[in-house]
Amino acid sequence: MNRFTTILWDVDGTLLDFAYSQNYAIRKCFQTIGKPITDEMVDRYDQINNSFWKRLEQKEITREELLSGRFLQLFEEYRIEGVNIKAFMKEYQESLGNVYSFQDDALTILTALHGHMKQYVVTNGVTSTQMNKLRLSGIYNLMDGVFISEQMGADKPSEVFFEKALSHVAEQDRSRILIVGDSLSSDILGGSNAGIVTCWYNPHGQENSLDRKPDYEIHDLHQIYEVLEIICGG
């Protein structure tokens, strides 16, 4: 009997290439406001955005402060004035959800696992944006459930997020639930604290900065088959 019956999948940076969507969205928004944007500015926005999400994970800021603050900081640093922040935010979220690119043939992998085990999405983000990407990409149709932080009223890695999500998962033996995600501070820490098995998707070969080790580490999503075969054969 297979050890795992259930996989919780992170989306951005795991199943989908978030950088691809982010690059498209921020450039489109700058085009709309008639302002030039350079590669340096795109890279700087990525740094700012990541820092705001880390601060949200640490509960240092609110979701509302994140959604507007990252742009306000970018505009301040590059002395960009006269932008309607609400309109900019709205277009950004819509644009972010309108394009996608798969990581490592993710859709093929999800399709191959579909019907053999339960699969769920666990993601931080804005509901409308995430749902649009999931539907357009075809991921939604392969999932047994979708848990988005905005809907849950809590973000990964919080205990509240994971407890709410796991309460809706059919499998209640947590040793048979595997979370796969690229974020040590969000997916791996949250999953570990929740008592489920963790698999760190680490395509860029980063060093583990946590004080704990994920149960598994993969560098390509195709390696999830190896993880499952090792479990099946063991």
Catalytic residues: 10
Is residue 71 within 8 Å of residue 89, measured between CB atoms? yes
Q: Which two tokens stand for residue 15?
A: 């199943």
d(C-alpha 172, C-alpha 177), whole Å: 8
Nearest C-alpha neighbor of 118 from the set 3, 4, 1? 4
Q: What is the dihedral of CA 123, 124, 127, 133, to 10 degrees?
A: -50
Is the sign of the CA dihedral 70, 75, 81, 83 positive or negative?
negative
